[in-house]
């Protein structure tokens, strides 16, 4: 007689693993994406309130941040287990996309900021999300436009764009007054060393949970530093500030234990000035998601993603983004940071990732839990991020080199990264062009690199097969 519970390895996608093993493995993913999941919301709310309606945003900020965690958890579960055709059943963590920051910032300027402009972003996200869902449903006939050379280039550009983010966190956060200080660099370095030692020097759970253990050690180190070192300093303008590595336990104490999420905290506004550029971004997001899923499946499962996985994953992106807008949250898409974690640890079990998703939902219901994670110093996160993000680069290289590096393939990769990624990384070169061009191509190397790779793959003649293969 078969056992009722069939346990499997954390390196297998389907099957159960014990909760004592699944919970810490899932927490790794939450810690890797927590700050990144909230940052886009903070940036866009700041952009809207700076122009007008600061008081209105102050009243709803806590609700929006709370909803961001709840939505990320729910959409992740749909991606892992699927509802009908929606969800790719792939080891992907979903979260608030930072790819829309450039477009939404421009919309805030065009529409005068305030809650009205934010509502227009939510309306555009609903329309754009439904559009991406339809695109995902018809992804199979479009798959020929996304061979390994294209998706590999996209994954590579994702990794390259994230490395600078990881290094910025390593130094304490680029906006910190003590950015690049010895304390911040030392904390980041120690966390990195702990992760490497555990990953390659330990076995079992210690090795599998190396990211989580490294981050917990980072908390402990910062707590000890707070007892031994000065926690404040004075900047060049004579203003006193708290150092970036200091743990703000007051934020945890002030947070409530339970709060009910609010639906429609911001009323959606449907305005073409927002809908058109956001819809274009959703096309690019679909390509990025194809790249994320391809990189995750290649790096974690050692094979190429199937049509069903890619289609379901993109549809989950679209529906998840429309669902997020109902809670006042920016589009929810596949999180590249967690792709790096999967490719590094090879932990792909959906029970473990599902535990992480449940924790995200609990954070959305319990602000005190989310506060504990939100006080994580950037240097602690950076110590783990530089390893994870570099793993994404290697996944992209693996995809690119699955096929022979012919003259055609070398041209696609070099031009896409050189021209496409170069334009995205140096968007000021586009200053003389219409504003919508900067909206689409500026601020991120992922968008132009993806489009250039797709176009070149279509236009360049295919390599002729050797006579022996004909």
pLDDT in tens, 119-145: 999 999 999 999 999 999 988 887 788
Q: What is the pLDDT of residue 402?
A: 79
| Cα separation values, 298 from 26, 147, 148, 344, Å | 20, 13, 10, 12
* Of the candidates 33, 38, 58, the residue with the CA atom closest to the CA atom of residue 48: 58
Percent of the chain with pLDDT over 90: 23
Report, as an integer, the average pLDDT of 333-343.
77
Q: Report pLDDT digits (tens) over 58-79.
A: 677 778 888 999 999 999 999 9
Q: Which residue is it, tokens 């535990």?
A: 355
* Of the candidates 390, 381, 338, 370, the residue with the CA atom closest to the CA atom of residue 173: 381
**Average predicted confidence (pLDDT) for the chain:** 83
Q: Which residue is it, tokens 């076995």?
A: 203
Under 8 Å between Cβ of 292 and 298:
no
Q: How far apart (Å, rounded) are the C-alpha atoms in residues 386 and 384? A: 6
Q: How far apart (Å, rounded) are the C-alpha atoms in residues 340 and 335? A: 9
Q: What is the pLDDT of residue 6?
A: 64
304-322: string of b/e by CB count within 10 Å (b at 16+)?
ebbeebbbbbbbbbbbbbb
Q: What is the pLDDT of residue 245?
A: 87
Q: What is the pLDDT of residue 4?
A: 42
Q: Specify the range with the lowest mean pLDDT, choosing from 187-201, 319-333, 369-383.
A: 369-383
* Of the candidates 297, 365, 289, 352, the residue with the CA atom closest to the CA atom of residue 320: 289
- Collapsing DSSP to helix, strand or coil, 375 comes out as coil
- Cβ burial of 79 (10 Å; 0-12, 13-18, 19+) is buried
- The two structure tokens encoding residue 175: 């906006």
Q: What is the pLDDT of residue 337?
A: 66
Confidence of residue 236 (pLDDT cuts 50, 70, 90): confident
- Cα atoms found within 13 Å of the Cα of residue 204, Cβ hemisphere only: 3
Q: Report pLDDT digits (tens) over 197-217.
A: 988 888 766 776 777 788 889
Q: Specify whether the backbone of 112 is left (phi greater than 0), alpha (psi in -120 to 50) or beta.
A: left
- The two structure tokens encoding residue 404: 């022979």
- Cβ burial of 92 (10 Å; 0-12, 13-18, 19+) is buried
Q: What is the pLDDT of residue 1?
A: 38
Q: Which residues contact 417 (CB under 8 A, 6 or more apart)?
A: 153, 156, 157, 160, 449
Q: How far apart (Å, rounded) are the C-alpha atoms in residues 396 and 275? A: 32
Q: Which residues contact 67 (CB under 8 A, 6 or more apart)?
A: 261, 262, 265, 327, 328, 329, 364
Under 8 Å between Cβ of 102 and 253:
no
Q: What is the pLDDT of residue 470?
A: 47
Q: With a cut of 60, say whether residue 52 has pLDDT above it.
A: yes
- Collapsing DSSP to helix, strand or coil, 353 comes out as helix
- Collapsing DSSP to helix, strand or coil, 334 comes out as strand
Q: Report pLDDT digits (tens) over 100-121.
A: 876 787 788 778 888 888 999 9
Q: Specify the range with the lowest mean pLDDT, choosing from 92-96, 358-362, 399-403, 452-456.
A: 399-403
Strand stretches in 163-279, DSSP E = 232-234, 240-242
165-203: string of b/e by CB count within 10 Å (b at 16+)?
bbebbbbbbeebbbeebebbbebbebbbebbeebbeeee
What helix, strand, coil percent values describe the chain, rounded to 5?
A: 70, 5, 25
Q: How far apart (Å, rounded) are the C-alpha atoms in residues 363 and 279? A: 30
Q: With a cut of 90, say whether residue 327 has pLDDT above it.
A: yes
Percent of the chain with pLDDT over 70: 91
């Amino acid at each position: 007689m078969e056992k009722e519970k069939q346990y499997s390895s954390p390196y297998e996608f389907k099957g159960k693993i014990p909760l004592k093993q699944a919970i810490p493995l899932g927490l790794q993913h939450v810690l890797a994406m927590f700050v990144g999941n909230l940052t886009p919301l903070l940036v866009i709310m700041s952009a809207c309130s700076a122009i007008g309606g600061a008081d209105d945003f102050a009243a709803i900020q806590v609700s929006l941040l709370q909803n961001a965690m709840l939505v990320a958890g729910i959409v992740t579960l749909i991606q892992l287990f699927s509802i009908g055709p929606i969800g790719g059943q792939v080891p992907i963590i979903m979260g608030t996309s930072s790819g829309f920051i450039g477009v939404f910032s421009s919309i805030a300027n065009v529409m005068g900021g305030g809650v009205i402009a934010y509502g227009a972003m939510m309306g555009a996200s609903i329309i754009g999300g439904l559009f991406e869902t339809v695109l995902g449903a018809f992804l199979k006939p479009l798959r020929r436009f996304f061979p390994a050379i294209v998706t590999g280039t996209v994954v590579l550009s994702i990794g390259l764009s994230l490395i600078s983010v990881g290094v910025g966190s390593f130094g304490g956060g680029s906006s910190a007054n003590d950015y690049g200080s010895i304390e911040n660099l030392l904390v980041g370095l120690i966390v990195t060393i702990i992760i490497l030692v555990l990953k390659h020097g330990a076995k079992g759970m210690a090795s599998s949970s190396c990211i989580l253990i490294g981050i917990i050690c980072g908390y402990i180190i910062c707590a000890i530093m707070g007892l031994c070192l000065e926690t404040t300093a004075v900047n060049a303008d004579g203003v006193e500030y708290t150092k970036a590595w200091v743990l703000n336990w007051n934020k945890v104490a002030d947070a409530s234990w339970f709060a009910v999420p609010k639906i429609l905290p911001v009323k959606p506004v449907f305005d073409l000035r927002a809908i058109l550029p956001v819809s274009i971004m959703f096309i690019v997001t679909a390509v990025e998601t194809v790249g994320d899923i391809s990189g995750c499946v290649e790096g974690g499962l050692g094979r190429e993603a199937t049509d069903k996985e890619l289609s379901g994953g993109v549809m989950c992106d679209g529906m998840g983004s429309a669902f997020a807008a109902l809670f006042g949250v920016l589009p929810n898409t596949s999180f590249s940071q967690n792709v790096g974690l999967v490719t590094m640890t090879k932990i792909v079990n959906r029970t473990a990732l599902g535990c992480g998703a449940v924790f995200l939902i609990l954070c959305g219901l319990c602000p005190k839990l989310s506060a504990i994670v939100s006080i994580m110093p950037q240097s602690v996160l950076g110590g783990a991020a530089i390893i994870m993000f570099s793993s994404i680069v290697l996944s992209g290289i693996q995809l690119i080199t699955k096929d022979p590096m012919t003259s055609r393939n070398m041209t696609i990769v070099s031009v896409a990264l050189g021209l496409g990624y170069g334009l995205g990384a140096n968007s000021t070169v586009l200053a003389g062009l219409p504003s919508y061009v900067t909206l689409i191509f500026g601020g991120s190397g992922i968008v132009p690199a993806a489009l250039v790779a797709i176009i070149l793959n279509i236009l360049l003649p295919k390599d002729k097969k050797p006579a022996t293969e004909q």
